[in-house]
C-alpha cells in the first residue's frame, strides 16, 4: 500500500527526471513510466490509442490570475473524455482553449501549445474560424439562434458557403436525425427554434454543431440544465457519436462520468491532478485529492 | 401627489386640445385637405397651403436619416463589437459631448461651414446655382445632430444581446462579421427600428438649427439643392407677425398641431412595429 | 476566402465612419473656438448691450447670460416641484404593475419626444390665456413644460431599479410614509442630480421654446413680467447681422453657451458614475 509521503517522494523523484520507478500497489497494478513519457519532467501516461488533441505546457492568465497551470495532456481519438473537478477549477476554461473562444478578451494571456492533429491551434498564422469549425461546442444553456429550426441548422451551411438548396435540406434532415430530433420537428421546421422545450433545444444545438462537420465535440456541462429524461437522451447520443467523433465533456455530475466516460481528467484549482482511462481513475485513483473528490468529501 | 400625477397624465391631452382650439378657426374656414394639399402660402391673401412645409420637413428629415443611419450603425457596431476598451472609453465621452452641443451652435456652424461647402464644392457638380442654403444643408446638419443619439442607443441595444449567442455563432466557425450580420443585427432589429423612429421624431421637431441653414423659402423642394421650409421653421419665423393678419395665428397653431400629431403618430407606430417585428423574426 | 474579405472591407468602412463622426466633433469645436475666443472679452460677460451694440458698438452679453440663468433656474425649480412628487408617487405609492403608473410613464414618454417649438407654441397660448405678455414668467412656464418629461423620465429610470426590499425594510422599522420618502430621496439623489443637469443642459441651449414666450430685450429683467433675453436667441439674432463685429459676438456667445453645456454634461457623467458606485 502506498503511504501518502511515499507518493510525495516518488513525485519529486519523477519531477527531477531521475529514474524509472516501478511502484508497487497492493492491487498489483503497475504504473509504467518510460522515457517517452517524460515531457518536461512531468508524469505522463503514454497513450495506447491515437491522440487527437495534445496540450503542452498550457498556462492561462486572466487579469494576471493564473487560471490554468502547466497543463499537459493528451485527449484520445474517438473516445469520450470527461474532465471532472469541483466548481471553479478551470474545466470550462480549458475547454475554451480548445476552440479559442477567448479571442475577444484583452485580459487573457496564453502560453503553451494546443496541438490538434499535430497542428498548434494557438499559433500566429492559424485561421480561427477554421479551428472552430473543427470543434463543435455544446454549452450548458441551450442557445438556439433567433431563427427557425431549419435556419438554425442551415446557419452552419450558410457561413461556410454551402448554398445549394437541396444540399442544405439534406444536411438539415441528416443531422436532425443524428440528434434524434427529426421525428419531433419535421412538421414544423419553419417555426421559431425558441419555442422548443429545453431538452429539444439542446438536441437542436447538438444537431447544429454537428452540421458543420467537426472532428471533435466539446461539451460544457451539456446536460446540467436539463431534466433527467433529456439528459439521458443527450448522453445516449454522445455514446452513439463517439464512433465518429472525439468527444470531450466537462461535467460536475460524477455519475455522468461513471456512466459514459472512457477517459478521465481530474482537475483541481487549475492543475491536472490525475488523468487516465476511466476504469483506472474512477475505481483506483492514485492521488489523494482524486480519492477525496470521488468520495464526495468536496465537490 | 396623486393629484399632480393624474394631472400630468392630462398634459399631453391638454396640449393637443389647446392647440386644436387655437387652430380651429382656420380649420372651420378651410377643409383639412385643402390646407394640407395646397402649395401656396400667402397669408396676406388668406391662402394657407401647408404642402410645401410638409414636403420641406420630409425632405430634410429624409436626407438626415439617409445620411445618418448607415454611419451610425457602422460606427456603433465598431465601437461595441470590435474596438477595444480604451477606444471605447475615449469615444463615448466625445459622443456625449456631440449630443450635448446646443442646436443653435450647430446652426452657427452649419452657416459657417456647411453652407459654403454645399454652395462652392458640392452643388456646382450638379446644378447651376445654389446659395448653399438648401435642404441638403439642413439634412447634413440634422444628420450630425442625430448621429450621436443613434449611436448611443444602438450601442446599448447591442449590449443586450447575450454573450452566449455570440459564442454559439463563433463556435460554429463564423467570423465576427458574419455573427454580427446574421445574429446580432437580427436580434437587435426591434431596437434598431425603435431607435430610428426616435431619431425621426427628433429630426422632425428640430427647429433652430435647420431654420438657420435651409433657406426658408416656401416652395416645394424639387432637388436636394433647393431651399426648403420645414414646419418648425415656419412657426418660429413667423410668430412675430402672427397677430397682424387674420387667421395667421391659427394657421401657425395648426402647424404646431400637425407637428404634435405626427410625433404622436410616430410614437404609436414605433410601438406597433416593435411588437410585430419581434413576432415575425422569431425573437 | 470570401467571408474574410467581406469582414475586412466592412471593418475598414467602420473605422472610416467612426473617424468621420469624431472629426465632425473637432470641426465644430474648432470653428466655434476660432471665432469665439478672439471675440471674447471681459466686457462680453459683464455688460449689457449699449446703444449701438447691434451695429458694432460697445456692450456685452450680460443680458442674455443673466436672462438664461433666470429662466433655467426658475424652470428647474418649477420642474422639480412637479416631477419629484410624480416620481415618488409612481414608485413608492403605487404597486409596481399599476395601470396608472404605466399610463403615466407612457404619457411622459410621448411628451419626451414632443419638439420644443410645440411647447413654445403651447406656452404662448397659455400666456395669452392668462393675459401675460412675453416675459420671464412665460419663458419659465414654457421651459418647465419642456424639461418635466426629461426630469421624470431620468429620475424614474433611477427609481425603478431601487429594490423594493428597501422600502419594505423601512416600513417594517415603523417608518411613516414621509420618512420612507426621505430614504428614497437619499437613494436616488445622485439620479436626481444627473437628471437636473441633463435638463439644465437641454433648457439652456433651447431656442424654440423661449422664442415666443420670453421675448428678447437688452436689459436684465427685474421682475417676472419683463421680457428676458437668452443666450441661444442672442446668438441667433446677432448672427443675422451684417456687421462683422456683431457676428463675432455671436460666436463669443456660442462659445460661452458651449462651455456651460460641456461643464454640465461632464458634471452629469461624474454624478452618474458616482451613483453606480453606490448602488445597493
CB-CB: which of B79, B178, B239 is closest to C212? B239
Q: What is the mean pLDDT of chain A?
A: 78
The HSE-up count of residue B248 (CA atoms within 13 Å, CB side) is 18
Tell me if A159 and C3 make a contact (CB, 8 A cut-off).
yes
Instruction: Give pTM, 2 decimals.
Output: 0.80
Tell me if C113 and B202 make a contact (CB, 8 A cut-off).
yes
Instruction: State the CATH architecture for B18-280.
Output: Orthogonal Bundle (1.10)
Residue A222 φ then ψ, to 5°: -65, -20
How many whole angstroms separate alpha carbon A158 and alpha carbon A110? 32
CA distance B2 to chain C (A): 7
Residue pair A214/A166 in contact by the 8 Å Cβ criterion: no
Looking at beta carbons, which residues of chain B come within 8 Å of A154?
Answer: none
Tell me if B171 and A208 make a contact (CB, 8 A cut-off).
no
CA distance C98 to chain A (A): 30
CA distance B193 to chain A (A): 17
Please, what is the angle between helix B185-205 and helix C116-130, to 10°?
A: 40
A212 touches chain B (CB under 8 A): yes
Of the residues A93, A101, A137, A145, the best mutation for testing chain B's interface (the one with the most B CB atoms within 10 Å of its CB) is A145
Looking at beta carbons, which residues of chain A come within 8 Å of C2?
Answer: 161
Tell me if B172 and A155 make a contact (CB, 8 A cut-off).
yes
Lowest average pLDDT, out of B5-14, B160-169, B199-208, goes to B5-14
CB-CB: which of A127, A129, A161 is closest to C2? A161
Looking at beta carbons, which residues of chain C come within 8 Å of B259?
Answer: 115, 117-118
Examine the pLDDT at B128 and tell me if it is beyond 60.
yes
Tell me if B187 and A146 make a contact (CB, 8 A cut-off).
yes
Predicted local confidence at residue C98, as pLDDT: 76
Nearest residue on chain B to A128, alpha-carbon basis = B173
Q: Across-strand partners of A246?
A: A216
Number of C-beta neighbours around residue A18 at 10 A:
10
What residues of A are in the C interface, CB distance below 8 Å?
A: 127, 129, 159, 161
CB-CB: which of C18, C116, C208 is closest to B75? C18
Query: Strands A80-84, A135-138: parallel, antiparallel or unpaired by DSSP?
Result: unpaired
CA distance B59 to chain A (A): 36
Burial readout A133-163 (b: 16 or more C-beta within 10 A, e: otherwise) = bbbbbbbbbbbbbbbbbbbbbbbbbebbeee
Tell me if A146 and B168 make a contact (CB, 8 A cut-off).
no
CA distance A152 to chain B (A): 10
CA distance C5 to chain A (A): 13
- The stretch B178-187 carries a mean pLDDT of 87
A8 vs A207, higher pLDDT: A207
Looking at beta carbons, which residues of chain C come within 8 Å of A161?
Answer: 2-3
CA distance A146 to chain B (A): 5
Residue pair A112/A57 in contact by the 8 Å Cβ criterion: yes
CB-CB: which of B18, B74, B107 is closest to C125? B18
Chain A: partners with 3+ C-beta pairs within 8 Å: B, C
Examine the pLDDT at A236 and tell me if it is beyond 60.
yes
C-alpha to C-alpha distances, A106 to A100, A163, B119, nearest whole angstrom: 13, 35, 47
Tell me if C115 and B232 make a contact (CB, 8 A cut-off).
yes
A107-134 tens-digit pLDDT: 788 888 888 887 888 877 778 888 888 8
Examine the pLDDT at B37 and tell me if it is beyond 80.
no
CB-CB: which of A143, A160, A212 is closest to B165? A143
Chain C: partners with 3+ C-beta pairs within 8 Å: A, B
C100 touches chain B (CB under 8 A): yes
How many whole angstroms separate alpha carbon B18 and alpha carbon B136? 34
Indicate if ipTM > 0.85.
Answer: no
Examine the pLDDT at B66 and tell me if it is beyond 90.
yes
CB-CB: which of B173, B186, B281 is closest to A159? B173
B220-231 tens-digit pLDDT: 888 888 888 888
Examine the pLDDT at A8 and tell me if it is beyond 60.
no
CA angle, residues B84, B90, B96, in degrees to nearest 5:
125
Nearest residue on chain A to B81, alpha-carbon basis = A104
Examine the pLDDT at A1 and tell me if it is beyond 70.
no
Tell me if B9 and C110 make a contact (CB, 8 A cut-off).
no
Of the residues A103, A128, A129, A155, the best mutation for testing chain C's interface (the one with the most C CB atoms within 10 Å of its CB) is A129
Looking at beta carbons, which residues of chain C come within 8 Å of A129?
Answer: 3
Examine the pLDDT at C75 and tell me if it is beyond 90.
yes
Looking at beta carbons, which residues of chain C come within 8 Å of B111?
Answer: 239
Examine the pLDDT at C16 and tell me if it is beyond 90.
yes
Predicted local confidence at residue C147, as pLDDT: 92
CA distance A139 to chain B (A): 8
Examine the pLDDT at B75 and tell me if it is beyond 60.
yes
Predicted local confidence at residue C278, as pLDDT: 52
Tell me if C117 and B198 make a contact (CB, 8 A cut-off).
no
How many whole angstroms separate alpha carbon A132 and alpha carbon C142? 60
C38 vs B64, higher pLDDT: B64
C250-280 tens-digit pLDDT: 888 888 888 888 888 888 777 777 766 554 4
Lowest average pLDDT, out of A139-143, B34-38, C8-12, C237-241, goes to B34-38
Delimit the domains of chain A by residue range: 1-43, 78-87+128-294
Strands (E), A63-210: 65-76, 80-84, 108-116, 119-120, 135-138
How many whole angstroms separate alpha carbon A215 and alpha carbon C260? 62
Residue pair B253/B239 in contact by the 8 Å Cβ criterion: no
Nearest residue on chain A to C2, alpha-carbon basis = A161
CA distance C83 to chain B (A): 9
- The stretch A163-183 carries a mean pLDDT of 88
- CB pairs < 8 Å spanning A and C: 5
C155 touches chain B (CB under 8 A): no
CA distance C50 to chain B (A): 24
Examine the pLDDT at A281 and tell me if it is beyond 90.
no
How many whole angstroms separate alpha carbon B55 and alpha carbon A46? 80
Which CATH code for domain A78-87+128-294?
A: 3.40.50.300
Tell me if B15 and C18 make a contact (CB, 8 A cut-off).
no
Residue pair B52/B220 in contact by the 8 Å Cβ criterion: yes
CB-CB: which of B172, B174, B186 is closest to A209? B172
Chain B: partners with 3+ C-beta pairs within 8 Å: A, C
Predicted local confidence at residue B146, as pLDDT: 92
Residue pair C159/C87 in contact by the 8 Å Cβ criterion: yes
- CB pairs < 8 Å spanning B and C: 213
Please enumerate in sequence order all residues whose Cβ is within 8 A of that of B38, keeping only pairs 6 or more positions apart, or say none.
B47, B48, B49, B50, B51
Tell me if B182 and A160 make a contact (CB, 8 A cut-off).
no
Residue pair A109/A61 in contact by the 8 Å Cβ criterion: yes
What residues of B are in the A interface, CB distance below 8 Å?
A: 84-85, 162, 164-165, 167-175, 178, 182-183, 186-187, 281-283
Amino acid at each position: 500500500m502506498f503511504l501518502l509521503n511515499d507518493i510525495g517522494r516518488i513525485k519529486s523523484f519523477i519531477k527531477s527526471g531521475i529514474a524509472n520507478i516501478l511502484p508497487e500497489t497492493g492491487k498489483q497494478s503497475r504504473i509504467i513510466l518510460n522515457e517517452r513519457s517524460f515531457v518536461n519532467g512531468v508524469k505522463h501516461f503514454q497513450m495506447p490509442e491515437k491522440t487527437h488533441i495534445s496540450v503542452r505546457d498550457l498556462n492561462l492568465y486572466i487579469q494576471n490570475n493564473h487560471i490554468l497551470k502547466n497543463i499537459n495532456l493528451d485527449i484520445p481519438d474517438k473516445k469520450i473524455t470527461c474532465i471532472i473537478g469541483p466548481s471553479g477549477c478551470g474545466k470550462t476554461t480549458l475547454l475554451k482553449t480548445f476552440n479559442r473562444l477567448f479571442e475577444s478578451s484583452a485580459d487573457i494571456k496564453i502560453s503553451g501549445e494546443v496541438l490538434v492533429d499535430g497542428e498548434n491551434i494557438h499559433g500566429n498564422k492559424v485561421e480561427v474560424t477554421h479551428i472552430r469549425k473543427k470543434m463543435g461546442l455544446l454549452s450548458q444553456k441551450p442557445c438556439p439562434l433567433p431563427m427557425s429550426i431549419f435556419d438554425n441548422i442551415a446557419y452552419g451551411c450558410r457561413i461556410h458557403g454551402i448554398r445549394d438548396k437541396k444540399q442544405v435540406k439534406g444536411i438539415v434532415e441528416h443531422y436532425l436525425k443524428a440528434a434524434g430530433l427529426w421525428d419531433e420537428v419535421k412538421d414544423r421546421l419553419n417555426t421559431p427554434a425558441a419555442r422548443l422545450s429545453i431538452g429539444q433545444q439542446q438536441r437542436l444545438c447538438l444537431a447544429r454543431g454537428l452540421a458543420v462537420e467537426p472532428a471533435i465535440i466539446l461539451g460544457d456541462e451539456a446536460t446540467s440544465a436539463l431534466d433527467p429524461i433529456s439528459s439521458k437522451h443527450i448522453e445516449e447520443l454522445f455514446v452513439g457519436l463517439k464512433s465518429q467523433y472525439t468527444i470531450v465533456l466537462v461535467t460536475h455530475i460524477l455519475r455522468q462520468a461513471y456512466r459514459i466516460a472512457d477517459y478521465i481528467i481530474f482537475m483541481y484549482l487549475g492543475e491536472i491532478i490525475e488523468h487516465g482511462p476511466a476504469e483506472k481513475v474512477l475505481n483506483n485513483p492514485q492521488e489523494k485529492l482524486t480519492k477525496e473528490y470521488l468520495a464526495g468529501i468536496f465537490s | 401627489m396623486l393629484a399632480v400625477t393624474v394631472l400630468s397624465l392630462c398634459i399631453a391631452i391638454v396640449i393637443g386640445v389647446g392647440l386644436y382650439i387655437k387652430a380651429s378657426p382656420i380649420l372651420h374656414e378651410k377643409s383639412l385637405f385643402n390646407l394640407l394639399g395646397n402649395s401656396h402660402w400667402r397669408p396676406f391673401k388668406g391662402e394657407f397651403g401647408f404642402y410645401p412645409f410638409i414636403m420641406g420637413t420630409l425632405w430634410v428629415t429624409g436626407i438626415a436619416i439617409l445620411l445618418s443611419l448607415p454611419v451610425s450603425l457602422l460606427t456603433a457596431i465598431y465601437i461595441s463589437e470590435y474596438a477595444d476598451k480604451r477606444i471605447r472609453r475615449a469615444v463615448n465621452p466625445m459622443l456625449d459631448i456631440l449630443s450635448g452641443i446646443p442646436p443653435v451652435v450647430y446652426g452657427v456652424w452649419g452657416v459657417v461651414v456647411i453652407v459654403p461647402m454645399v454652395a462652392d464644392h458640392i452643388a456646382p457638380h450638379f446644378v447651376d446655382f445654389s446659395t448653399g442654403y438648401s435642404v441638403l444643408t439642413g439634412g447634413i446638419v440634422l444628420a450630425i445632430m442625430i448621429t450621436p443619439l443613434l449611436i448611443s442607443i444602438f450601442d446599448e441595444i447591442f449590449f443586450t444581446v447575450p454573450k452566449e449567442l455570440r459564442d454559439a455563432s463563433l463556435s460554429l466557425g463564423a467570423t465576427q462579421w458574419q455573427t454580427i450580420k446574421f445574429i446580432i443585427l437580427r436580434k437587435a432589429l426591434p431596437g434598431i427600428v425603435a431607435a430610428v423612429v426616435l431619431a425621426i421624431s427628433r429630426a422632425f421637431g428640430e427647429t433652430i438649427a435647420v431654420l438657420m441653414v435651409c433657406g426658408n423659402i416656401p416652395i416645394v423642394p424639387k432637388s436636394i439643392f433647393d431651399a426648403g421650409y420645414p414646419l418648425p421653421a415656419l412657426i418660429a419665423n413667423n410668430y412675430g407677425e402672427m397677430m397682424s393678419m387674420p387667421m395667421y395665428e391659427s394657421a401657425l397653431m395648426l402647424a404646431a398641431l400637425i407637428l404634435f400629431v405626427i410625433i404622436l403618430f410616430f410614437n404609436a407606430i414605433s410601438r406597433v412595429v416593435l411588437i410585430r417585428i419581434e413576432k415575425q423574426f422569431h425573437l | 476566402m470570401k467571408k474574410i474579405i467581406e469582414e475586412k472591407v466592412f471593418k475598414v468602412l467602420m473605422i472610416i465612419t467612426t473617424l468621420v463622426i469624431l472629426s465632425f466633433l473637432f470641426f465644430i469645436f474648432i470653428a466655434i473656438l476660432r471665432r469665439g475666443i478672439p471675440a471674447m472679452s471681459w466686457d462680453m460677460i459683464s455688460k449689457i448691450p449699449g446703444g449701438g451694440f447691434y451695429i458694432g458698438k460697445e456692450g456685452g452679453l450680460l443680458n442674455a447670460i443673466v436672462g438664461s440663468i433666470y429662466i433655467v433656474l426658475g424652470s428647474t425649480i418649477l420642474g422639480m416641484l412637479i416631477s419629484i412628487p410624480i416620481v415618488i408617487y409612481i414608485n413608492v405609492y403605487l404597486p409596481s404593475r399599476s395601470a396608472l403608473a404605466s399610463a403615466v410613464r407612457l404619457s411622459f414618454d410621448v411628451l419626451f419626444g414632443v419638439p420644443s417649438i410645440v411647447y413654445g407654441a403651447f406656452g404662448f397660448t397659455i400666456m395669452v390665456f392668462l393675459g401675460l405678455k412675453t416675459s420671464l414668467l412665460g419663458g419659465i412656464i414654457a421651459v418647465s413644460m419642456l424639461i418635466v418629461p426629461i426630469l421624470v423620465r431620468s429620475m424614474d429610470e433611477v427609481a425603478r431599479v431601487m429594490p423594493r426590499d428597501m422600502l419594505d425594510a423601512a416600513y417594517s422599522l415603523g417608518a411613516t410614509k414621509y420618512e420612507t420618502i426621505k430614504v428614497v430621496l437619499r437613494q436616488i439623489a445622485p439620479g436626481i442630480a444627473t437628471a437636473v443637469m441633463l435638463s439644465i443642459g437641454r433648457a439652456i441651449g433651447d431656442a424654440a421654446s423661449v422664442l415666443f414666450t420670453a421675448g428678447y430685450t437688452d436689459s436684465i429683467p427685474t421682475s417676472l413680467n419683463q421680457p428676458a433675453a437668452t443666450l441661444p436667441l442672442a446668438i441667433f439674432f446677432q448672427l443675422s447681422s451684417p456687421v462683422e463685429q456683431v457676428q463675432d459676438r455671436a460666436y463669443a456667445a456660442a462659445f460661452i453657451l458651449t462651455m456651460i453645456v460641456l461643464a454640465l454634461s461632464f458634471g452629469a457623467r461624474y454624478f452618474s458614475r458616482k451613483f453606480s458606485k453606490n448602488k445597493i
